[in-house]
Structure 1
Amino acid sequence: MKVYKYRSGEGLALKRDLRSLINNEIYSAPIDSLNDIFEAKYILDEGGFKLNLMDNYLEGDNLNDIKNNALDVLNKYIELSGKFGVYSLSKNYGDEILWAYYANSHKGFCLEYELDELVSYRMRDELIIDVIYQKEVPTLTFTDLFVFQKTKSLQSALNKKLIATKSERWSHERELRIVTAVSGKYKYEYNSLKAIYFGCRSLTYLHKFVMKVMKGRGIKYYKMQTRSNSYELERVELRDEYAGYTYKKIELAVVEDGIPYISLANKKYENYFHDAIKIVSELPNSKIISDVDLSVFRGSASNPMIFVIYISDDDKYQKKYFSLAEIDAYFKRK
């Protein structure tokens, strides 16, 4: 799924954003720093905080103790959730209000990511959640806590109410959130950034400057414009001023001894194994190639997938998948 992040494109913010793009990182902001004044607002149903299923089996004092303990647990989780980080994205690159609010009145730009690739590197275990828009402030109940504790589901009603519910006035944003355990910077997959859209009022110098910084990354560029006889925006593809440049690492990743191991069953894919290793060795974050093989869980006999396991520059094991067609396209084979 494609998701989008709007940026202002001027001054210190531009320098910050370009530095983040070069470093392949996002900033997950503290919840209390977000621009909605009603962020994480809730009503706690203390009066109705009871264990209906246990009312007939417990004495009053014991039941009150459990109720109070449950409230303590809930309040501690509420306090913990206040330390979460949020990276807000939209499912829409063509909303004129988002361009006006978050992209400097259409003078800035908008980033397009492939969501699965964006989170696959360092945020694979984080909560990805759609924002819910409604008229009323959400009410936290004992049932919310009970279900959350029983299922341990990140997509529980408790989390949705605490960190992903907003007034319906914000519904045009079509927001999706990556919620991290703590706020701060997070690395993402090098090629999860797919395109950059420039606003209707953006200047040519911004286009060229961004293209120069991002040259060799294989990114598509678009400029937004108003559609004739309509209140809608549309995109027009721009020519990459630095098309033909190839990203070059100063030092390629090291391939461990014995890699790739070619079995008789995989012999016909030997060239693809070597090509997949070459692709990964050129990734900005790859340091050591430790394995390559056919995937058992992805692809099929007629359309196999190859995976490469590598150690990234922050000493984490990563896995990158390729179809044969993707490898062919990379090397421009016919």
Structure 2
Amino acid sequence: MKVYKYRSNYQRDILSLSLNQLFAPTYNNLNDPFEGMFNDKEDKKILELLKRFDTDSLEKAYEELVTMVKKKGIYSLCKTYDNEILWALYSDSHQGFVIEYDLDILLNDFNFNQLTPFVHTVEVKYKDSPQKSMIIIDSFNKRMDLANIIATKSLSWKHENEIRLIFEEPGINTFNFKAVTSIIFGLRASDKDINNVMNLLKGRGLKYYKMTTYTDSYKLKITDLQDQFIHTSEYIQNKAPFDENLLSDENIFAEYQIYKDYLKEIVTYVSSLPNIIKIDSIEIYGEIDKPKINILTTTSLKLLPVRLFQYQYIDKVFVQTN
């Protein structure tokens, strides 16, 4: 799925993009003063009915949960790139640009641990009154709909067609540069700004486009742009260090030496991924004709400081299995 971010500041936003960073603020730093508003009447009724029990603990847990949700980071995206209102509001009256993300790639290097996902995706609901939170009922049913609290807006915002990434840690987050698939410039973007962006993002295999208008319609259309730096060497995002001895003959048994070149290739790939700061161990084991590989790494993510990569040799190639 492709999603889009409308941007206007060529210095700040392109610098962040060149560093493969996005900023996810908490809800109270967003531009809608009604962010986080919800109808808690049902929750309060249930708390009142439970007064005969340990209501102080329940109320405290309830407030802590609401506070926790509101402290998460929010990165707002759109499902379309040709919304003329958003170009006017968020892209400097069509002088800015839009970032196109591949959502699956964007999430992959954050949600590698299925038990502890780092990012949740929610589609914003647009309503004429605040959404019922239903926190307590949801907890009884062992589920939690974050959209009820953190992704409901008034009908006035419906034109934004918004999808949100909810980060466990707000602030700056580093993503895989391959998640950005193209840059779309506004119809009033200058040649100077376009050239500067292409220069800063060269070597990433990006596609570039520019919006134009139809002569007989209010709709915007997209046109291809030639990358001015297409012959630049390939960009490498990261080079996490690792001890060369991990690939030595002492660490790799003789029967697995035939896979040593594959190991080097996989380790190079893993060390290039975002948020990997060190490769701690490399293990190859199992049947000689169908071996498995485990690579344990240290990450820069506070919530998930360790990441395990698992591979298996299938049809003459190593395939990641986790």
TM-score range, shorter chain: 0.7 to 0.9
Instruction: Assess if the C-alpha contact under 8 Å between 2:174 and 2:274 holds in 1.
Output: no
Give 2:133's aligned residue: 140
Q: What do residues 117-154 of structure 1 show as CA deviations (whole Å, max 9, x unaligned)? A: 2233346422221111111212334xx31322551x3x
Instruction: Assess if the C-alpha contact under 8 Å between 1:286 and 1:311 holds in 2.
Output: yes
Shift of the 50–30 alpha-carbon distance from structure 1 to 2, 3 Å rule, reads closer
Q: What do residues 290-331 of structure 1 show as CA deviations (whole Å, max 9, x unaligned)? A: 55989xxxxxx9xxxx9976555777536499xx9xx9xxxx
Shift of the 72–284 alpha-carbon distance from structure 1 to 2, 3 Å rule, reads closer
Give 1:121's aligned residue: 109
Which residue identity does 1:128 align to in structure 2?
A: T
Matched, 1:188 2:172: no
1:161-172 residue pairs with structure 2 within 5 A?
161-172=148-159
Q: Name the SS for the 2:46 alignment partner.
A: coil
Equivalenced residues, count: 297
Structure 2: tracts of 5 or more residues without a match: 112-116, 318-322
Which residue identity does 1:226 align to in structure 2?
A: T
- State the distance in 2 between where 1:320 and 1:207 align: 41
1:28-107 residue pairs with structure 2 within 5 A?
28-45=24-41, 49-50=45-46, 63-66=51-54, 69-107=57-95
Give 2:15's aligned residue: 19
Instruction: Assess if the C-alpha contact under 8 Å between 1:85 and 1:183 holds in 2.
Output: yes
- State the distance in 1 between where 2:60 and 2:240 align: 53
- State the distance in 2 between where 1:307 and 1:238 align: 42
Structure 1: tracts of 5 or more residues without a match: 56-61, 295-300, 328-334
- State the distance in 1 between where 2:196 and 2:284 align: 40
Q: Name the SS for the 2:11 alignment partner.
A: helix
Q: CA RMSD in A?
A: 3.9
Which residue identity does 1:2 align to in structure 2?
A: K
| Identical columns (%) | 30
Q: Name the SS for the 1:40 alignment partner.
A: coil
- State the distance in 1 between where 2:68 and 2:96 align: 35
Q: What do residues 261-284 of structure 1 show as CA deviations (whole Å, max 9, x unaligned)? A: 6998997x8866654445455557
Q: CA deviation at 1:93?
A: 1.1
Shift of the 270–231 alpha-carbon distance from structure 1 to 2, 3 Å rule, reads farther
Instruction: Assess if the C-alpha contact under 8 Å between 1:121 and 1:187 holds in 2.
Output: no
Q: Name the SS for the 2:35 alignment partner.
A: coil
* Higher mean displacement: 251-260 or 100-109: 251-260
Shift of the 199–266 alpha-carbon distance from structure 1 to 2, 3 Å rule, reads farther
- State the distance in 1 between where 2:131 and 2:71 align: 20
Matched, 1:226 2:226: no
Which residue identity does 1:3 align to in structure 2?
A: V
- State the distance in 1 between where 2:131 and 2:274 align: 44
TM-score by length of 2: 0.75
